[in-house]
Structures are given as structure tokens and as C-alpha cells.
Amino acid sequence: MSEYMGMTITIGGTLPASLIGEFLKVISDELSIESGPTTESKLRKETDRKKPIKWNAQSNYGQCNDLKAFCTEHGLSYIHTSAASVEYDGTLQYWIPGMEEEGLFSASQNGDPMISVDTIRPLVNLLMEYAKKGDDALPLFITDKNEGVIEVVEKGLKNSKDFLPALSEKLQNILPEVPKLPPLIIKE
């Protein structure tokens, strides 16, 4: 069973010229291209722009696992978004060389990364109270039901100088940060 859904993939990095044929075959086998280069001459022309290259397409459930496997095998960075549908949430996935696993976030219909309000609200509440009451706000949150809040509060109670760095680290781990991709270049 399959369902073709909208998706995009943007790819950057260095593609050896000897792999162009294989690269384009993986793309044509897996994607129903709406825009993006589909021939070697068009791919070479796009690389002259010195930007990552984006393909808009339809694919089975908005996925392109073979293409992403090709990219990771050959050290090409990518950002992949799949559109939301009635039954499925949109996703934003990315990988750059050096990552152990692919980054994954829920995404809006436009492909923008999203997080749940329930995920961020406890930390925002903590920060707002801290802004009002300073260190006196910390004991108010020690019994919070959110483990991330408790972890940050405990660090702040042990040493008040550790509170803001701990909160900052927790927020950085929660908030999506999509990497900027290098241009796609062909190495002769």
C-alpha cells in the first residue's frame, strides 16, 4: 500500500562526478519530481549557483529513504521535509556529516520545525517567574511535574550561578535548530 505525498529535499556537499549518474537514478527511482534538476546538464548548471539544491516532489508517504541513504553514504548533507496530510503529521529531517543519527522534528505544512507548547511552556513559566523573583522563584518549582524543570531548578538551588546556563542548555536541546547546508558542488 502506498500514498504519494508532497515533500522536499535540499542537498549540499561535495558529489564526485563519477557518482552523478547513480545520484540522479536514485532521485528518479524514488521521487516524482515537480522541480529540481533531473539530468546531468541541469544538475551541473544548478551547481554553478553555489547553493544547496532543492527538489520538490511527491513520494511514497513523503519519504525518500534510498536518497537519504545515498547522501549519508557519500557525505552529502540534506534537509528533508514531508508534508502533513489528514492522517500524518509533517516532518523535518536533516543530516550533516558527523551526526550519529538524523535530526527529526514535527513540521508545519510549510516545512518549518515545530515543538509542542506542552514541551516548552514549563520552562517558559520558570523563566518568567525567575525574571520576577530571581533566585526566590526556584523553590516554587522543585515539585514541578516536568523532569526538565526539576533538573534545572536543582542545579540552580545548588549554585545560583548554574541556573541560567542549565536553563539555556535545556532550551537549546528542545528548540529546533536546522543546520545551514553547504552548496552542492561536483568534484571532477
Residue spans of the domains in the chain: they are 4-114+177-187, 117-174
**Torsion 126-132-134-136 (CA) sign:** negative
CA distances from 88 to 26, 30, 36, 48 (A): 25, 20, 25, 37
For residue 1, pLDDT beyond 90: no
For residue 110, pLDDT beyond 90: no
Q: Where are the beta strands (DSSP E) in 25-177?
A: 32-35, 53-60, 77-82, 90-95, 103-107, 113-114
Across all residues in the chain, what is the average pLDDT? 93
Percent of the chain at pLDDT above 90?
76
When pLDDT is cut at 50, 70 and 90, the band that residue 90 belongs to is confident
Segment holding 132, helix H or strand E: helix 117-133
Q: What is the mean pLDDT of residues 106-126?
A: 86
Segment 54-73, tens digit of pLDDT: 999 999 989 999 999 999 99
- What predicted TM-score, i.e. pTM, was given to this entire model? 0.81
* Integer Cα distance of 149 and 160 in angstroms: 15
